[in-house]
């Protein structure tokens, strides 16, 4: 029998039992749809939360001053610690594993424009602030090192702050008063979603050079005039993260006479560690959902095997007649194997098309916070196709071997007795 004849007979047999064939195919297709959608949903959720985290800041650590909880250098515990304006320079020198060490000072000031006014949080830092805090420019520019070194009175507005002060009017080049001090607007921030903060969301702030902030809007007593609120630190990479933390603590401990192990004296909001923990959660979630999908596919494969075993029993006489007429064991084996493979791959292909089509439709919908849509990867497609092949082989071997092992005399006697 040629392959064309074999294929024709196989398709005719499947069509003759189309209801059973369709129900069997549904089990496999449903398993493919389940694994694709569940894994893609887990991946989309993980990417969405990662993007939200990066909107706050990329690989940034916020170092807050607190109270000592340990005695060190003859000083008592419970002592209040405050960072000073020059601390970041010393930390930069002694922390080579850190890419950036920036000071940050923020206070609420009364702001007036020619069109509106309000009490707005104003923050001073250095130019790399835009990189590690993911502050993108919509129009104009952010302040640079020359602005900072010369203490220029220039301001960069958050997107909501610009709307509050200028509505739809042009803001670049306009003058605003911060506590009565005139500042020139040089840029406006691009809007962003922010799922966390430590002193308010960035879109509702005004950003000015650090030296200008320290001169015009220092912390009020009892804080010292040169005190700052926090340090922003970014490691060179994940590999240098731990060393960066140790070096920052060691230097600050030396500068302010506290034990570097005292986490209450220098508490750190570590987005690097948080991102790693979240990623582990989502990897576990993807593995779990993928395992559920794989189990569903294998259950569908068992269904195919059971159906083919029933088919072998129902077609015992047919098999006996074919073998009596000279059909070889290999030809019987090939036919039943081919039937199973066709059912599995046809239903699997339909499942893949449906699931990828659903992923594409979801991608056309407006994005929602913390979810980046369904975007199955090529690795997932490769895994699914590999599973399909494995299931096809496993579910075909036993029924095909049973069919090929039927004794023609016993088959004809069994059918006649029935």
Over residues 75-122, the pLDDT tens digits come to 677 888 999 999 999 999 999 999 999 999 999 999 999 999 999 999
Quote the tokens at residue 65.
């001053």
Q: 95, 108, 66: which is closest to 83 by C-alpha? A: 66
Spatial contact of 236 and 31, defined as CB atoms under 8 Å apart: no
The arithmetic mean of pLDDT across residues 293-318, rounded, is 69
Give the containing element (helix H, strand E) for 15. Answer: helix 3-16
Return d(Cα 133, Cα 141) in angstroms, integer. Answer: 16
Angle, helices 271-314 vs 18-56, to 10°: value is: 180
Contact 81, 165 (CB under 8 A): no
DSSP state of 218: P
Supply the pLDDT for residue 370: 62
Query: E strand or H helix at 45, and its extent?
Result: helix 18-56
The rounded mean pLDDT for the chain is 81
List the structure tokens of 197.
């903060």
For residue 145, what pLDDT is reported? 96
Instruction: Determine if the pTM surpasses 0.75.
Output: no
Beta strands, E only, 289-330: none
Model pLDDT for residues 155-204, shown as the tens digit of each residue:
999 999 999 999 999 999 999 999 999 999 999 999 987 766 678 889 99
Q: Which of 153-157, 220-224, 293-297, 332-336 has the highest mean pLDDT?
A: 153-157
Assign 146 to helix, strand or coil.
helix
Phi/psi for 403 (5° steps) reads -65, -40
Is the peptide bond preceding residue 49 cis, with omega within 30 degrees of 0?
Answer: no
pLDDT at position 54 over 60: no
Q: What is the pLDDT of residues 196-230, one digit of tens each?
A: 667 888 999 999 999 999 999 999 888 888 999 99
φ, ψ dihedrals at 137, nearest 5°? -95, 130
Cβ distance 195 to 48 under 8 Å?
Answer: no
Residue labelled with tokens 């985290």: 53
**Mean pLDDT in residue range 141-147:** 97
> What pLDDT, on a 0 to 100 scale, did the predictor assign at position 414?
52
CA distance 331 to 213: 86
Asked if residue 159 lies in contact with residue 191, where contact means CB atoms within 8 angstroms, the answer is yes
């Amino acid at each position: 029998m040629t392959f064309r004849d074999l294929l024709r007979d196989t398709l005719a047999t499947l069509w003759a039992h189309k209801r059973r064939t369709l129900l069997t195919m549904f089990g496999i297709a449903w398993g493919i749809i389940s694994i694709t959608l569940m894994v893609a949903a887990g991946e989309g959720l993980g990417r969405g939360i990662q993007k939200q985290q990066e909107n706050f800041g990329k690989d940034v650590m916020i170092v807050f001053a607190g109270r000592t909880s340990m005695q060190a250098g003859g000083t008592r515990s419970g002592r209040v610690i405050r960072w000073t304006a020059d601390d970041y320079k010393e930390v930069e020198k002694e922390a080579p594993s850190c890419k950036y060490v920036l000071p940050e000072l923020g206070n609420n000031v009364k702001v007036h424009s020619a069109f509106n006014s309000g009490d707005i949080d104003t923050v001073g830092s250095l130019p790399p602030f835009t990189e590690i805090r993911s502050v993108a420019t919509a129009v104009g520019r952010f302040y640079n090192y020359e602005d900072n070194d010369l203490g220029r009175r220039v301001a960069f507005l958050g997107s909501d702050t610009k709307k509050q002060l200028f509505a739809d009017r042009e803001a670049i080049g306009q003058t605003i008063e911060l506590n009565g001090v005139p500042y020139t607007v040089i840029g406006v921030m691009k809007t962003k979603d922010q799922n966390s903060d430590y002193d308010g969301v960035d879109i509702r702030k005004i950003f000015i050079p650090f030296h200008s902030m320290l001169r015009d809007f220092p912390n009020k007593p009892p804080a010292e005039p040169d005190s700052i609120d926090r340090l922003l630190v970014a490691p060179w990479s994940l590999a240098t993260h731990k060393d960066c933390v140790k070096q920052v603590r060691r230097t600050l401990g030396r500068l302010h006479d506290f034990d570097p192990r005292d986490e209450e004296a220098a508490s750190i909001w570590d987005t690097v560690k948080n991102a790693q923990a979240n990623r582990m959660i989502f990897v576990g979630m993807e593995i779990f959902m993928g395992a559920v999908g794989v189990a569903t596919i294998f259950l569908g494969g068992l269904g195919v095997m059971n159906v083919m075993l029933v088919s072998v029993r129902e077609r015992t006489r047919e098999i006996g007649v074919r073998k009596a007429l000279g059909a070889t064991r290999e030809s019987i084996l090939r036919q039943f194997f081919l039937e199973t493979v066709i059912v599995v791959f046809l239903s699997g292909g339909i499942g893949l098309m449906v699931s990828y089509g659903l992923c594409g439709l979801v991608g056309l919908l407006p994005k929602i916070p913390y979810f980046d849509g369904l975007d199955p990867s090529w690795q997932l497609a490769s895994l699914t196709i590999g599973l399909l092949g494995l299931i096809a082989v496993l579910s075909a071997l036993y029924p095909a071997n049973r069919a090929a092992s039927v004794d023609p005399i016993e088959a004809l006697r069994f059918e006649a007795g029935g």
